[in-house]
């Protein structure tokens, strides 16, 4: 018998990693919690943990589709097998600055240094929430999304203000 399409606990990568661990709680849509977290963030934009709470409170209906599409693709398998720790790479500004001037690496370093941020700091903020981790592809996808988040600020030109 074939598992239903929405039963992600029955989908596996080629290496055997489950797409969504069966113990992972289902996301809950909590708009009031999101509003309260957003209001708190407007008072203290340095409390990055609130950003995680906002996203967690407003789960996207397409999230699992995005996780599945990347994680179960050949490219996703390649990234998981070959990609070293992104925070370590992103926080090595000396190495990033050896790339050509005007590159994304330089723009990223400029942004992070001007804002007083680090990739390791973002990891620490996420872990400060004390959320359990699961041995699944959702965990990998969420951590990769977290680790590349500040690159999107640089690529889009959005800062860390209310709009960004």
- Are 17 and 138 in contact by the 8 Å Cβ rule? The answer is no
Q: Do residues 95 and 144 share a domain?
A: yes
Domain for residue 37, yes or no?
yes
CA 74 – CA 164 distance, rounded (Å): 32
Domain for residue 3, yes or no?
no
Distances (CA, A) of 122 to 33, 106, 145: 21, 19, 11
Please enumerate in sequence order all residues whose Cβ is within 8 A of that of 105, keeping only pairs 6 or more positions apart, or say none. 96, 97, 99
CA 94 – CA 92 distance, rounded (Å): 5
Domain count, the chain: 2
CA 160 – CA 153 distance, rounded (Å): 8
Cα first-last separation, the chain: 47
Q: Do residues 86 and 146 share a domain?
A: yes
Q: Do residues 155 and 93 share a domain?
A: yes
Tell me the mean pLDDT in the region 134-139: 97
Secondary structure of residue 51 in the 3-state scheme: helix
Tens digit of pLDDT for each residue in 84-116? 899 999 999 999 999 999 999 999 999 999 999
Domain for residue 93, yes or no?
yes
Q: Do residues 98 and 41 share a domain?
A: no
Which pTM value belongs to this model? 0.86
Domain for residue 31, yes or no?
yes
Domain for residue 135, yes or no?
yes
Domain for residue 47, yes or no?
yes
Tens digit of pLDDT for each residue in 56-65? 999 999 999 9
Rg of the Cα atoms in the chain: 17
| % the chain with pLDDT above 90 | 76
Domain for residue 64, yes or no?
no
Domain for residue 2, yes or no?
no
Residue-range definition of the domain harbouring residue 41: 26-59
Q: Do residues 44 and 120 share a domain?
A: no
């Amino acid at each position: 018998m074939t598992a239903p399409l929405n039963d992600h606990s029955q989908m596996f990568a080629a290496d055997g990693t489950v797409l969504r661990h069966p113990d992972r709680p289902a996301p809950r849509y909590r708009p009031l919690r999101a509003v309260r977290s957003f209001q708190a963030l407007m008072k203290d934009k340095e409390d990055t943990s609130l950003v995680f709470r906002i996203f967690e409170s407003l789960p996207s209906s397409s999230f699992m589709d995005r996780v599945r599409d990347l994680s179960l693709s050949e490219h996703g398998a390649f990234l998981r097998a070959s990609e070293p720790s992104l925070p370590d790479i992103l926080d090595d500004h000396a190495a990033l600055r050896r790339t050509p001037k005007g590159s994304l690496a330089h723009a990223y370093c400029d942004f992070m240094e001007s804002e007083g941020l680090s990739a390791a700091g973002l990891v620490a903020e996420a872990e400060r929430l004390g959320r359990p981790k699961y041995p699944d592809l959702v965990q990998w996808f969420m951590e990769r999304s977290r680790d590349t988040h500040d690159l999107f600020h640089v690529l889009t030109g959005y800062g860390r203000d209310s709009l960004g």
